[in-house]
Amino acid sequence: MAAGHGNTPAAWTAVGVAMLGFVVGSVALLQIPANETLLWIGIAIGLIAFPLFLVLSKFGFNASEH
């Protein structure tokens, strides 16, 4: 891998949003009974991460500063 692989604002933002989606979905599944509405919100948040990465890349936030 390159020295700056993945160390860009676009990558960090996308990973952060994806992790937020996983946390929300996990909290939904831990409830008894499982909260399906919250689960789908978590899935939607997780799915937003990739398009967000692409948009931020187009705006130039995917360029390493090295």
User: What's the pTM?
Assistant: 0.84
Q: What DSSP state is assigned to residue 6?
A: T
Q: CB-based contacts of 59: which residues, under 8 Å, 6+ apart? A: none
6-54 residue pLDDT tens: 789 999 999 999 999 999 999 999 999 999 999 999 999 999 999 999 9
Q: Let me know: does 65 contact 11? Beta carbons within 8 Å.
A: no
CA separation for the pair 44, 48 (Å, rounded): 6
**Domain ranges (residues) in the chain:** 9-58
Q: Let me know: does 39 contact 16? Beta carbons within 8 Å.
A: no
Q: Let me know: does 49 contact 14? Beta carbons within 8 Å.
A: yes
